[in-house]
Amino acid sequence: MSDLVELKTSLAQSGIDPDLGALLDCMAQACIEIADAVERGALSGTLGALDRANVQGETQKQLDVISNDLLVHALQNSGLACGIASEEEDHAVAIPGGAPYLVLFDPLDGSSNIDVNVTVGTIISVLPAPNSAPNDADFLQPGHRQLAAAYVAYGPSTLLVLTTGDGVKQFTLDRARGAFVLTGSALSVPKQTAEFAINAARQRHWLAPIAAYIRDCVAGETGPRGRDFNMRWIASMVADVHRIMTRGGVFLYPNDHAMIAEGMTGKLRLMYEANPMGWLVEQAGGAASTGEGRILDIVPSGLHQRVPVVLGSADEVAEVEARFAAP
Ligand code: P6P
Protein backbone atom coordinates (compact mmCIF):
# COMPACT_ATOMS: atom_id res chain seq x y z
CA MET A 1 0.00 0.00 0.00
CA SER A 2 2.30 2.73 -1.33
CA ASP A 3 -0.35 5.46 -0.91
CA LEU A 4 -0.15 5.38 2.90
CA VAL A 5 0.75 8.74 4.43
CA GLU A 6 3.69 8.64 6.85
CA LEU A 7 3.52 10.48 10.18
CA LYS A 8 6.10 13.10 9.17
CA THR A 9 4.05 14.00 6.06
CA SER A 10 0.77 14.03 7.97
CA LEU A 11 2.26 16.39 10.56
CA ALA A 12 3.67 18.69 7.85
CA GLN A 13 0.25 18.84 6.17
CA SER A 14 -1.66 19.45 9.42
CA GLY A 15 -0.90 23.16 9.66
CA ILE A 16 0.70 22.93 13.12
CA ASP A 17 3.94 24.73 13.94
CA PRO A 18 6.75 22.86 12.13
CA ASP A 19 8.78 22.69 15.35
CA LEU A 20 5.85 21.04 17.12
CA GLY A 21 5.59 18.57 14.25
CA ALA A 22 9.31 17.84 14.47
CA LEU A 23 8.99 17.34 18.24
CA LEU A 24 6.15 14.84 17.81
CA ASP A 25 8.05 12.98 15.09
CA CYS A 26 11.15 12.87 17.32
CA MET A 27 9.13 11.27 20.13
CA ALA A 28 7.51 8.85 17.69
CA GLN A 29 10.97 7.67 16.65
CA ALA A 30 11.91 7.16 20.32
CA CYS A 31 8.69 5.15 20.76
CA ILE A 32 9.75 2.87 17.90
CA GLU A 33 12.87 2.12 19.94
CA ILE A 34 10.67 1.50 22.98
CA ALA A 35 8.55 -0.88 20.87
CA ASP A 36 11.74 -2.76 19.96
CA ALA A 37 12.82 -2.96 23.62
CA VAL A 38 9.36 -4.11 24.77
CA GLU A 39 9.18 -6.69 21.99
CA ARG A 40 12.60 -8.16 22.81
CA GLY A 41 11.66 -8.48 26.52
CA ALA A 42 13.05 -11.77 27.80
CA LEU A 43 15.47 -12.02 24.85
CA SER A 44 17.43 -9.07 26.24
CA GLY A 45 16.89 -9.86 29.92
CA THR A 46 15.05 -6.59 30.52
CA LEU A 47 11.91 -8.02 32.05
CA GLY A 48 11.36 -7.82 35.77
CA ALA A 49 11.72 -5.12 38.40
CA LEU A 50 14.60 -3.06 39.70
CA ASP A 51 15.38 -2.87 43.38
CA ARG A 52 14.13 0.72 43.64
CA ALA A 53 10.94 2.80 43.55
CA ASN A 54 10.00 5.92 41.63
CA VAL A 55 8.64 9.14 43.10
CA GLN A 56 5.22 7.48 43.14
CA GLY A 57 6.62 4.85 45.52
CA GLU A 58 6.05 2.22 42.83
CA THR A 59 8.68 -0.44 42.12
CA GLN A 60 10.33 0.43 38.81
CA LYS A 61 10.48 -2.13 36.03
CA GLN A 62 13.68 -2.26 33.98
CA LEU A 63 11.67 -1.28 30.90
CA ASP A 64 10.16 1.72 32.74
CA VAL A 65 13.67 3.14 33.08
CA ILE A 66 14.79 2.09 29.59
CA SER A 67 11.70 3.72 28.03
CA ASN A 68 12.11 6.87 30.10
CA ASP A 69 15.78 7.20 29.16
CA LEU A 70 15.06 6.69 25.44
CA LEU A 71 12.56 9.57 25.47
CA VAL A 72 14.68 11.86 27.67
CA HIS A 73 17.84 11.35 25.58
CA ALA A 74 15.96 11.82 22.28
CA LEU A 75 14.49 15.10 23.52
CA GLN A 76 17.77 16.33 25.03
CA ASN A 77 19.57 15.66 21.73
CA SER A 78 16.81 17.24 19.62
CA GLY A 79 16.59 20.72 21.19
CA LEU A 80 12.89 20.55 20.28
CA ALA A 81 11.68 21.07 23.87
CA CYS A 82 12.99 23.05 26.84
CA GLY A 83 11.58 20.89 29.61
CA ILE A 84 10.52 17.34 30.43
CA ALA A 85 8.31 15.90 33.16
CA SER A 86 8.02 12.13 33.53
CA GLU A 87 6.38 9.64 35.84
CA GLU A 88 9.88 8.27 36.34
CA GLU A 89 11.53 11.63 37.17
CA ASP A 90 11.05 13.22 40.60
CA HIS A 91 11.26 16.74 39.16
CA ALA A 92 11.19 18.50 35.80
CA VAL A 93 14.28 18.13 33.59
CA ALA A 94 15.27 21.40 31.88
CA ILE A 95 16.88 21.31 28.44
CA PRO A 96 19.04 24.41 27.87
CA GLY A 97 18.35 26.25 24.62
CA GLY A 98 15.37 24.05 23.73
CA ALA A 99 12.30 25.12 21.79
CA PRO A 100 9.34 26.59 23.77
CA TYR A 101 7.59 23.30 24.44
CA LEU A 102 7.15 21.30 27.64
CA VAL A 103 6.83 17.54 27.22
CA LEU A 104 5.24 15.29 29.82
CA PHE A 105 4.99 11.54 29.62
CA ASP A 106 4.38 8.24 31.28
CA PRO A 107 7.08 6.36 29.38
CA LEU A 108 5.63 2.88 29.88
CA ASP A 109 2.15 2.85 31.35
CA GLY A 110 0.77 -0.46 32.53
CA SER A 111 4.25 -1.90 32.87
CA SER A 112 3.02 -4.36 35.50
CA ASN A 113 1.58 -6.15 32.45
CA ILE A 114 4.93 -6.43 30.68
CA ASP A 115 5.92 -9.75 32.25
CA VAL A 116 2.63 -11.34 31.14
CA ASN A 117 2.84 -10.02 27.55
CA VAL A 118 -0.19 -7.71 27.73
CA THR A 119 -0.38 -4.45 25.76
CA VAL A 120 1.36 -1.50 27.43
CA GLY A 121 1.93 2.02 26.19
CA THR A 122 3.53 5.45 26.28
CA ILE A 123 1.36 8.49 27.07
CA ILE A 124 2.52 11.94 25.93
CA SER A 125 1.35 15.52 26.55
CA VAL A 126 2.81 18.76 25.15
CA LEU A 127 2.27 22.17 26.79
CA PRO A 128 3.53 25.64 25.88
CA ALA A 129 6.65 26.70 27.79
CA PRO A 130 6.16 30.01 29.67
CA ASN A 131 9.94 30.53 29.77
CA SER A 132 13.11 28.89 28.50
CA ALA A 133 14.31 27.58 31.87
CA PRO A 134 11.22 25.79 33.21
CA ASN A 135 10.81 24.43 36.72
CA ASP A 136 8.09 22.17 38.13
CA ALA A 137 5.68 25.07 38.60
CA ASP A 138 5.83 25.98 34.88
CA PHE A 139 4.28 22.60 34.06
CA LEU A 140 1.24 23.15 36.30
CA GLN A 141 -1.08 24.24 33.48
CA PRO A 142 -4.65 22.97 33.03
CA GLY A 143 -5.14 20.29 30.40
CA HIS A 144 -7.09 22.60 28.08
CA ARG A 145 -3.77 24.33 27.33
CA GLN A 146 -2.25 21.24 25.76
CA LEU A 147 -0.82 21.65 22.25
CA ALA A 148 -0.64 17.91 21.54
CA ALA A 149 -1.57 14.64 23.21
CA ALA A 150 -0.75 11.11 22.13
CA TYR A 151 -0.37 7.54 23.18
CA VAL A 152 1.55 4.66 21.64
CA ALA A 153 0.08 1.21 22.24
CA TYR A 154 2.64 -1.63 22.08
CA GLY A 155 0.28 -4.46 21.18
CA PRO A 156 -0.35 -6.84 18.26
CA SER A 157 0.26 -3.68 16.22
CA THR A 158 2.23 -0.71 17.49
CA LEU A 159 -0.19 2.20 17.17
CA LEU A 160 0.30 5.94 17.62
CA VAL A 161 -2.91 7.87 18.36
CA LEU A 162 -2.49 11.64 18.25
CA THR A 163 -4.34 14.94 18.48
CA THR A 164 -3.11 18.50 17.98
CA GLY A 165 -6.60 19.95 18.43
CA ASP A 166 -8.21 19.04 15.09
CA GLY A 167 -9.60 15.57 15.75
CA VAL A 168 -7.74 12.33 16.41
CA LYS A 169 -5.57 10.39 13.95
CA GLN A 170 -4.23 6.84 14.23
CA PHE A 171 -0.93 5.67 12.78
CA THR A 172 0.33 2.09 12.59
CA LEU A 173 4.02 1.22 12.75
CA ASP A 174 5.15 -0.19 9.40
CA ARG A 175 8.38 -1.95 10.36
CA ALA A 176 9.35 -2.37 6.70
CA ARG A 177 9.49 1.43 6.42
CA GLY A 178 10.57 2.08 10.01
CA ALA A 179 7.79 4.65 10.22
CA PHE A 180 4.24 5.18 11.46
CA VAL A 181 1.69 5.40 8.63
CA LEU A 182 -1.82 6.87 8.76
CA THR A 183 -4.45 4.17 9.31
CA GLY A 184 -7.26 6.23 10.85
CA SER A 185 -7.97 9.84 9.94
CA ALA A 186 -10.81 10.64 12.37
CA LEU A 187 -11.25 8.40 15.40
CA SER A 188 -14.68 8.81 17.00
CA VAL A 189 -16.01 7.66 20.37
CA PRO A 190 -19.71 6.71 20.08
CA LYS A 191 -21.92 8.73 22.45
CA GLN A 192 -23.59 5.56 23.74
CA THR A 193 -22.05 2.33 24.93
CA ALA A 194 -22.90 -0.88 26.73
CA GLU A 195 -19.36 -1.51 27.99
CA PHE A 196 -17.70 -0.26 31.18
CA ALA A 197 -14.14 -0.70 32.41
CA ILE A 198 -13.37 -0.64 36.13
CA ASN A 199 -11.31 -2.67 38.61
CA ALA A 200 -14.28 -4.46 40.23
CA ALA A 201 -12.02 -5.86 42.98
CA ARG A 202 -12.28 -2.44 44.67
CA GLN A 203 -16.08 -2.61 44.84
CA ARG A 204 -16.20 -2.65 48.64
CA HIS A 205 -14.36 0.70 48.70
CA TRP A 206 -16.42 2.53 46.07
CA LEU A 207 -18.08 5.85 46.82
CA ALA A 208 -21.88 5.70 46.61
CA PRO A 209 -22.24 7.33 43.13
CA ILE A 210 -19.82 4.83 41.58
CA ALA A 211 -21.46 1.90 43.36
CA ALA A 212 -24.87 3.09 42.13
CA TYR A 213 -23.68 3.53 38.54
CA ILE A 214 -22.07 0.08 38.34
CA ARG A 215 -25.01 -1.56 40.14
CA ASP A 216 -27.38 -0.12 37.54
CA CYS A 217 -25.16 -1.34 34.67
CA VAL A 218 -24.87 -4.85 36.15
CA ALA A 219 -28.66 -4.99 36.68
CA GLY A 220 -28.88 -4.98 32.89
CA GLU A 221 -32.22 -5.08 31.07
CA THR A 222 -34.05 -5.94 34.30
CA GLY A 223 -32.71 -2.78 35.98
CA PRO A 224 -33.12 1.00 35.53
CA ARG A 225 -30.87 1.12 32.45
CA GLY A 226 -33.16 -1.33 30.59
CA ARG A 227 -30.24 -2.92 28.72
CA ASP A 228 -27.40 -5.32 29.40
CA PHE A 229 -23.83 -4.10 29.84
CA ASN A 230 -20.49 -5.84 29.40
CA MET A 231 -17.29 -5.29 31.40
CA ARG A 232 -13.67 -5.15 30.27
CA TRP A 233 -10.60 -4.39 32.44
CA ILE A 234 -7.10 -4.84 31.00
CA ALA A 235 -5.41 -2.84 33.80
CA SER A 236 -3.37 -1.04 31.18
CA MET A 237 -4.84 2.42 30.63
CA VAL A 238 -3.51 2.74 27.06
CA ALA A 239 -5.12 -0.58 26.08
CA ASP A 240 -8.43 0.19 27.80
CA VAL A 241 -8.58 3.69 26.35
CA HIS A 242 -7.68 2.50 22.84
CA ARG A 243 -10.59 0.05 22.96
CA ILE A 244 -12.85 2.98 23.87
CA MET A 245 -11.36 5.17 21.11
CA THR A 246 -12.14 2.33 18.69
CA ARG A 247 -15.61 1.08 19.74
CA GLY A 248 -16.77 3.23 22.66
CA GLY A 249 -17.09 2.44 26.34
CA VAL A 250 -16.55 4.15 29.65
CA PHE A 251 -13.35 3.85 31.71
CA LEU A 252 -13.50 4.49 35.43
CA TYR A 253 -10.67 4.78 37.92
CA PRO A 254 -12.45 6.65 40.72
CA ASN A 255 -11.09 7.67 44.06
CA ASP A 256 -12.52 5.46 46.81
CA HIS A 257 -12.82 5.24 50.60
CA ALA A 258 -9.63 3.17 50.96
CA MET A 259 -7.54 5.60 48.89
CA ILE A 260 -9.09 8.59 50.68
CA ALA A 261 -8.17 6.98 54.01
CA GLU A 262 -4.56 6.91 52.78
CA GLY A 263 -4.74 10.59 51.84
CA MET A 264 -4.87 9.86 48.10
CA THR A 265 -6.86 11.88 45.54
CA GLY A 266 -7.09 9.05 43.00
CA LYS A 267 -4.74 6.58 41.34
CA LEU A 268 -4.08 7.99 37.86
CA ARG A 269 -1.79 10.99 37.36
CA LEU A 270 -3.33 14.22 36.08
CA MET A 271 -0.45 15.69 34.10
CA TYR A 272 0.69 12.72 32.00
CA GLU A 273 -2.23 10.29 32.09
CA ALA A 274 -5.61 11.95 32.69
CA ASN A 275 -4.95 15.19 30.77
CA PRO A 276 -3.57 13.68 27.53
CA MET A 277 -6.05 10.80 27.52
CA GLY A 278 -8.85 13.20 28.42
CA TRP A 279 -8.05 15.54 25.52
CA LEU A 280 -7.78 12.66 23.05
CA VAL A 281 -11.19 11.35 24.14
CA GLU A 282 -12.77 14.83 23.95
CA GLN A 283 -11.26 15.42 20.51
CA ALA A 284 -12.88 12.14 19.41
CA GLY A 285 -16.30 13.32 20.66
CA GLY A 286 -16.20 11.72 24.09
CA ALA A 287 -15.98 13.22 27.58
CA ALA A 288 -13.41 13.17 30.39
CA SER A 289 -14.45 13.92 33.96
CA THR A 290 -13.47 13.35 37.57
CA GLY A 291 -17.15 12.46 38.04
CA GLU A 292 -17.72 15.96 39.37
CA GLY A 293 -16.07 18.16 36.74
CA ARG A 294 -14.10 18.30 33.49
CA ILE A 295 -10.57 16.93 33.89
CA LEU A 296 -9.06 19.46 31.46
CA ASP A 297 -10.27 22.37 33.62
CA ILE A 298 -8.36 21.22 36.73
CA VAL A 299 -5.69 23.72 37.77
CA PRO A 300 -2.84 21.40 38.82
CA SER A 301 -1.23 21.65 42.26
CA GLY A 302 1.57 19.14 41.74
CA LEU A 303 3.56 17.51 38.96
CA HIS A 304 2.55 14.00 40.07
CA GLN A 305 -0.94 14.88 41.28
CA ARG A 306 -3.49 12.07 41.08
CA VAL A 307 -7.16 12.50 40.10
CA PRO A 308 -10.28 10.37 39.71
CA VAL A 309 -10.93 9.50 36.06
CA VAL A 310 -14.21 8.78 34.25
CA LEU A 311 -13.80 9.03 30.48
CA GLY A 312 -15.22 7.70 27.23
CA SER A 313 -18.69 7.70 25.65
CA ALA A 314 -20.26 11.06 26.53
CA ASP A 315 -23.69 9.72 27.53
CA GLU A 316 -22.18 7.29 30.05
CA VAL A 317 -19.83 9.90 31.53
CA ALA A 318 -22.96 12.04 31.99
CA GLU A 319 -24.70 9.12 33.76
CA VAL A 320 -21.83 8.91 36.25
CA GLU A 321 -21.77 12.68 36.78
CA ALA A 322 -25.55 12.63 37.37
CA ARG A 323 -25.06 10.16 40.22
CA PHE A 324 -22.42 12.39 41.81
CA ALA A 325 -24.80 15.38 41.46
CA ALA A 326 -27.83 13.54 42.89
CA PRO A 327 -28.86 14.73 46.39
P1 P6P B 1 -5.16 -1.63 38.90
C2 P6P B 1 -1.20 0.87 35.41
O3 P6P B 1 -0.45 0.68 36.60
C4 P6P B 1 -2.22 1.96 35.70
O5 P6P B 1 -1.58 3.13 36.06
C6 P6P B 1 -3.11 2.15 34.48
O7 P6P B 1 -2.45 1.89 33.29
C8 P6P B 1 -4.25 1.17 34.71
O9 P6P B 1 -5.48 1.60 34.15
C10 P6P B 1 -4.35 1.10 36.23
O11 P6P B 1 -3.08 1.52 36.76
C12 P6P B 1 -4.61 -0.31 36.70
O13 P6P B 1 -4.84 -0.26 38.09
O14 P6P B 1 -5.63 -1.14 40.26
O15 P6P B 1 -6.24 -2.36 38.14
O16 P6P B 1 -3.86 -2.38 38.93
Q: Is the pLDDT of residue 294 over 90?
A: yes
Helix-helix angle 314-325:208-219, to 10 degrees: 130
- 89 burial class (0-12, 13-18, 19+ CB within 10 angstroms)? middle
The rounded Å distance from CA 133 to ligand 1 centre is 33
195-325: in CATH 3.90.45.10: no
Mutate to test the pocket of ligand 1, among 105, 108, 109, 264 (most ligand atoms within 8 A of CB): 109
Pocket test for ligand 1, best of 199, 241, 271, 277 (most atoms within 8 A of CB): 199
Taking the CA of residue 251 as reference, the ligand 1 atom at the shortest distance is 9
**CB of 74 closer than 8 Å to CB of 93:** no
Q: Which fold has domain 7-184?
A: Fructose-1,6-Bisphosphatase; Chain A, domain 1 (3.30.540)
Domains 7-184 and 195-325 share a fold: no
Q: What is the pLDDT of residues 174-186, one digit of tens each?
A: 999 999 999 999 9
8 Å CB contact between 164 and 148: yes
What ranges do the domains of the chain cover? 7-184, 195-325
pLDDT digits (tens, 9 = 90+) for 189-230: 999 999 999 999 999 999 999 999 999 999 999 999 999 999
Q: Is residue 200 lining ligand 1, measured as CB closer than 6 Å? A: no
Which tens digits make up the pLDDT trace of 126-159?
999 999 999 999 999 999 999 999 999 999 999 9
